[in-house]
Amino acid sequence: MDAPSLYVGKVAAQSGSVYVTNGFVPYWREAFSSTGEACWFVVEFDPSQVSWKRFEEILGATDPSQASKDSIRGLLFQHWKDCGLSQQPTTMDNGVHFSAGALEGMRERML
């Protein structure tokens, strides 16, 4: 099964194979769980009613400053103080992470 946004690769090394994970996934996990807990939501929807593209629009652009003002990230960007955030959301700390698909989501939870 293909998982293009998973960012994990098997690399041959002298001592054998190693797996390399793109550094932003563990960073995000730490950022979302630094308080000692992380909230995971399993979202299920009928793709004939809400496409994956539409779901992305509801959450908003990865860069909250570019997100639609009525998206979740756009609202967090505008009202970050009211939400109790210590800083305005950025691309790396944008308030909401969602996986590119089910396989990626499962793998990210395992990291």
Cα separation, 28 vs 96, in Å, equals 10
What are 21-56's pLDDT values in tens digits? 666 666 766 766 666 556 677 788 888 998 888 988
pTM: 0.67
Please say if the pLDDT value at position 105 is more than 90: no
